[in-house]
Amino acid sequence: MNPTTEKAVAAYGGKEFWSKAKHIEAEVSVHGWAFTLKGRPFFKRAKIQMEVARPFSRLTPIGKDPQIVGVLDGHDVRLEDSNGKVIKERKDARRYFPGGRRLFHWDDLDMSYFANYAFWNYFTLPALLMRDDIDWKEIQPGWLEATFPESIPTHNKVQRFRFDPGTGRLHQHDYTADIITKLATAANVVLEHKQGDGFVYASHRLVTPRAPSGKALPGPTLIDITVHKLQIL
C-alpha cells in the first residue's frame, strides 16, 4: 500500500482489525435535499446491518412503514417484512436509474439501492482501502484516487478521497452520484469522528455540491448524516 493508504488504514483501526472484521451495525439519522427531491422521508435513527467483505446491507426502516426492511445484496435489492419474508425484489437495480419517474420520485426499492450501497461504501472504507479489486492511486500526499470494479455498487467509477496529513483520517470524499444525475458532483465532508471499541469512525458527514476547483460549496445541504452508534463485529 502507498503511504497515504497505510496511514489511513492505521488511523481507522489498523490492518489486523479490519482483516478480522465481519459485520457492521449502526444507527443513523439522515436528512437533506436529496431526500426531499425524490419524495423520500428522512431517516430517524434507522438501523443498519451489513457485511464487510461483500456489498450486503439491511436498512430498517427504509421508508414510512417501520416494519419494512430495505436490503442490498450485490446489485440486487429487495424489501422484507419484520419476519424476513420477501415482499418485493428488483434484480440489477442500477439499470433502472436515473430516467423516467426516478427523475422525480424514488420508491422503497430505489432507496434501498442508493442508501445501502452508499452506507456500505462509507462504513467499510478501511476495508476497501485493502482490497485488490479497487485500483488505489496516490495522486499526491494525502489524496487517493480510486477506480472501482463493476462488481462493487458505488456512486461512480472514479472517486477521490482526501485524508488529513496529520491524523490520516478522511476529510473529503469526492464523487458524482450517477444514479441521481451525471451532474450530481458532490463533496462529502467529514465534520466529526468518534472513538469506537478499537477503531475510529466518521460520525457526522455533510454532502454539498462540489465547485470546479474541488472545494465543497457551503450549500445547499444535499445529505446530512449523523451516526449515533456503530459497532464492528
CATH number at residue 162: 2.50.20
Q: Please state the rounded mean pLDDT for residues 190-214.
A: 97
Mean pLDDT of the chain: 97
HEC secondary structure over 91-142? CCHHHHCCCHHHHCCCCHHHHHHHHHHHHHHHHCHHHHCCCCCCEEEEEECC
Average pLDDT over residues 163-175: 97
Task: List beta partners, residue 194.
Answer: 201
pLDDT band at residue 141 using 50, 70 and 90 as cut-offs: very high
How confident is the model at residue 76, as a pLDDT? 98
Q: What was the pLDDT predicted at 101?
A: 96
Q: Residue 190's domain spans which residues?
A: 3-226
pLDDT band at 231 (very low <50, low <70, confident <90, very high): very high
pLDDT band at 88 (very low <50, low <70, confident <90, very high): very high
Residue 231 falls inside a structural domain:
no
Q: Is residue 232 part of a domain?
A: no
Is 67 within the bounds of a domain? yes
Residue 214 is predicted with a pLDDT of 94
Q: pLDDT over 90 for what percent of the chain?
A: 99
Q: Above pLDDT 70, what percent of the chain?
A: 100
Q: Per the structure, how many domains does the chain have?
A: 1
User: Which pLDDT band, with edges at 50, 70 and 90, does 144 fall under?
Assistant: very high
Please tell me the distance from the alpha carbon of residue 2 to that of residue 81, in angstroms, as a whole number. Answer: 44
**Percentages (nearest 5) of helix, strand, coil residues in the chain:** 20, 40, 40
Cell of 60: 430498517
Q: pLDDT tens digit string along 16-58?
A: 999 999 999 999 999 999 999 999 999 999 999 999 999 999 9
Q: Is residue 143 part of a domain?
A: yes
In a domain, 233, yes or no: no
User: What's the pLDDT score for residue 224?
Assistant: 98
DSSP character at residue 147: E
